[in-house]
């Protein structure tokens, strides 16, 4: 479906302001001014600031889950470990490409709110299902409920979210398209090395 450029401009402006000032610290007028549109246009498209937020997050997660699914289908013939590494790369690429909205969403997800509960039911459960299955597939001889594996899965999920909860750690290193690409390359390589280590340790344990 072709995106409406004006609508997308409003979403981009809102994402930037939510990232900088938070949802409650941003007004509809602020968004309109940054997007250089009339306030009434935002009301027409989204009804309210909350409606704009819900639309932006829905769009973000639907595209995100579609990106993961494409990766799964494209790399279906690979071994489970390589398939998981490919998935991790597209996850970090997507989050980095949508950096400001990613950071804002992950900050909001750290809070207990109606927003978080809605996201958990609709999108986070799907994300968790896909990542968990891909992770457990690299340990075919162990049950999913194996306690060590559950701890390791929790660590992996943490690595996929930490850059967006601690974005100020990277603000001087990630300042343009090239540095974003380098971050994806370097960070996914580090996660890949961690996975290699985890798999090797598992092999040693069952010998």
pTM over 0.85, yes/no: yes
CB atoms within 10 A of CB 26: 21
- Work out how many domains the chain is built from and give that number: 2
Are 11 and 104 contained in the same domain? no
Which CATH number does the domain housing residue 3 bear? Answer: 1.10.10.60
Rounded Cα gap, residues 45 and 4, in angstroms: 11
Are 37 and 130 contained in the same domain? no
Are 64 and 43 contained in the same domain? no
Are 35 and 131 contained in the same domain? no
Contact status, residue 159 vs residue 124, Cβ threshold 8 Å = no
Residue 19, C-beta contacts closer than 8 angstroms, at least 6 positions apart: 100, 101, 103, 104
Q: In terms of residue numbers, what domain contains 160?
A: 57-206
Across the chain, which has 207 residues, the per-10-residue mean pLDDT values are 80 92 92 94 92 91 95 94 97 94 86 73 88 91 71 94 80 64 93 95 75
CA distances from 87 to 80, 115, 130, 206 (A): 10, 26, 10, 27
Rounded Cα gap, residues 93 and 207, in angstroms: 36
The reported pLDDT for the residue numbered 111 is: 75
């Amino acid at each position: 479906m072709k995106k409406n450029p004006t609508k997308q401009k409003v979403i981009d402006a809102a994402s930037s302001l939510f990232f900088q000032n938070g949802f409650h610290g941003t007004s509809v007028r602020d968004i309109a001014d940054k997007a250089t549109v009339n306030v009434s246009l935002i009301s027409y498209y989204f009804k309210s600031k909350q409606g704009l937020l819900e639309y932006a997050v829905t769009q973000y997660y639907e595209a995100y889950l579609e990106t993961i699914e494409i990766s799964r289908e494209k790399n279906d013939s690979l071994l489970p470990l390589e398939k998981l590494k490919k998935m991790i790369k597209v996850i970090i690429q997507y989050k980095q490409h949508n950096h400001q909205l990613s950071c804002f969403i992950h900050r909001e997800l750290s809070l207990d709110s109606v927003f978080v509960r809605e996201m958990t039911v609709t999108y986070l459960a799907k994300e968790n299902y896909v990542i968990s299955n891909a992770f457990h597939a690299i340990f075919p001889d162990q049950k999913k409920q194996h306690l060590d594996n559950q701890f390791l899965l929790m660590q992996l999920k943490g690595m996929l979210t930490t850059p967006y909860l601690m974005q100020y750690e990277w603000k001087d290193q990630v300042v343009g398209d090239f540095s974003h690409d380098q971050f994806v390359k370097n960070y996914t390589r580090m996660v890949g090395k961690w996975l290699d280590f985890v798999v090797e340790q598992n092999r040693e344990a069952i010998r």
